[in-house]
């Protein structure tokens, strides 16, 4: 991936006049673009094969929106992230389908997720990383407040649908599962989970790995 | 034409970079090292 990003950056440098500062920002943007595009594509292609495209799409939107403000655990590399995102998004969508049976059960689960997510945001959000530390107190407060608003909006959507239709829409329920997963990724357990995946994946697939 | 497309893509990529810098982290599970120019945003 580093080579591809390097080639992409060279294409810009050869055709446009960009200075060192602009180059650094552009390189960061290229990293993000590749991560987003490949991550979403991998998740959605797998979802299409499994027949759960709409659920995975809703899940990714919910996770991304909440993660934007709350932060959370990260994988060690772009490839790890892409694979982990694809696997977890599809697994969670299938898991939500298993749970989406009884409206009362879904309602209670949604309420439980909301309470857990509020606690996770209160305790951990915004959860930063060494690559992008959040040092400003004002910014931390702002991100935390917006995390609460995302939760309130999500829960209000669930509640409104339930009050109007007497049931919980399975896609809205799937978005709650996404909120649950993102809330877990804020916690120490979530960070350990991501680190464990990195360790296993790197061991299996990095050069020198002899398990496959 | 190529130059115009590159300039448009630079605008989009810069948008990604600045929105990411203003947020808590990237929207998927990988966070590249933030460049000095975007720190303290």
Confidence (pLDDT) at B40: 66
Give the CA dihedral A84, A86, A90, A96, nearest 10 degrees: 60
Interface of A with B in 74-103 (CB under 8 A): 74-75, 77-78, 80-82, 84-85
Task: Report d(CA A202, CA A80) in Å as an integer.
Answer: 8
pLDDT at A189 over 90: yes
pLDDT at A171 over 60: yes
Task: Report d(CA A142, CA A134) in Å as an integer.
Answer: 11
pLDDT tens digits, A35-88: 999 999 999 999 999 999 999 999 999 999 999 999 999 888 888 899 999 999
Chain-chain contact of B17 with A25 (C-beta, under 8 angstroms) = yes
Q: What proportion of chain A, given as a percentage, has pLDDT over 90?
A: 57
Confidence (pLDDT) at A206: 62
Q: What proportion of chain A, given as a percentage, has pLDDT over 70?
A: 97
Let me know: does A59 contact A93? Beta carbons within 8 Å.
yes
Chain-chain contact of B30 with A75 (C-beta, under 8 angstroms) = yes
Mean pLDDT in residue range B1-13: 89
Confidence (pLDDT) at A104: 86
Question: Looking at the complex, does the CB of residue A182 fall below 8 Å from at least one CB of chain B?
Answer: no
Task: Report d(CA A97, CA A95) in Å as an integer.
Answer: 5
Task: Report d(CA B37, CA B41) in Å as an integer.
Answer: 9
Burial class (CB in 10 A: 0-12, 13-18, 19+), A126: buried
Mean pLDDT in residue range B10-15: 91
Residue A204 distance to chain B (closest CA, Å): 19
Task: Report d(CA A16, CA A5) in Å as an integer.
Answer: 16
- Which residue in chain A has the smallest CA separation from B20? A68
Q: What is the mean pLDDT of chain A?
A: 89
Question: Looking at the complex, does the CB of residue B8 fall below 8 Å from at least one CB of chain A?
Answer: no
Mean pLDDT in residue range A14-32: 87
Q: What is the mean pLDDT of chain B?
A: 85
Confidence (pLDDT) at A153: 93
Where are the strands (E) in A30-145, listed by range?
none
pLDDT at A208 over 60: no
Let me know: does B20 contact A32? Beta carbons within 8 Å.
yes
- Which residue in chain B has the smallest CA separation from A67? B27
pLDDT bracket for residue A211 (50, 70, 90): very low
Confidence (pLDDT) at A209: 45
Strand (E) or helix (H) holding A186: helix A170-186
Tokens for A70?
Answer: 């709350």
Cβ contacts of residue A204 below 8 Å, gap of 6+? A211, A212
pLDDT tens digits, A125-152: 898 888 888 888 999 999 999 999 999 9
Q: What is the ipTM of this complex?
A: 0.89
Confidence (pLDDT) at A121: 96
């Amino acid at each position: 991936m580093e080579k591809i990003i390097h080639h992409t950056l060279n294409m810009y440098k050869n055709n446009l006049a960009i200075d060192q500062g602009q180059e650094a920002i552009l390189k960061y943007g290229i990293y993000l673009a590749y991560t987003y595009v490949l991550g979403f594509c991998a998740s959605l292609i797998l979802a299409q094969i499994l027949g759960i495209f709409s659920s995975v799409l809703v899940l990714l939107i919910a996770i991304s929106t909440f993660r934007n403000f709350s932060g959370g655990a990260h994988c060690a590399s772009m490839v790890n992230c892409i694979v982990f995102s694809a696997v977890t998004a599809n697994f969670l969508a299938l898991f939500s389908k298993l749970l989406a049976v009884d409206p009362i059960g879904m309602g209670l689960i949604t309420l439980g997720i909301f309470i857990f997510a509020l606690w996770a945001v209160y305790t951990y959000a915004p959860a930063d990383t060494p690559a992008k530390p959040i040092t400003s107190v004002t910014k931390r407060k702002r991100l935390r407040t917006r995390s609460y608003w995302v939760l309130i909006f999500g829960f209000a959507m669930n509640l409104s649908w339930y009050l109007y239709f007497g049931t919980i829409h399975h896609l809205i329920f799937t978005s709650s599962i996404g909120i649950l997963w993102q809330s877990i990724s804020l916690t120490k357990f979530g960070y350990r989970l991501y680190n464990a995946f990195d360790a296993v994946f790197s061991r299996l697939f990095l050069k020198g790995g002899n398990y496959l | 034409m190529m130059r115009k497309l590159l300039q448009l893509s630079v605008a989009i990529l810069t948008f990604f970079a600045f929105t990411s810098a203003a947020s808590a982290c990237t929207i998927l599970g990988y966070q590249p090292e933030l460049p000095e120019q975007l720190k303290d945003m």
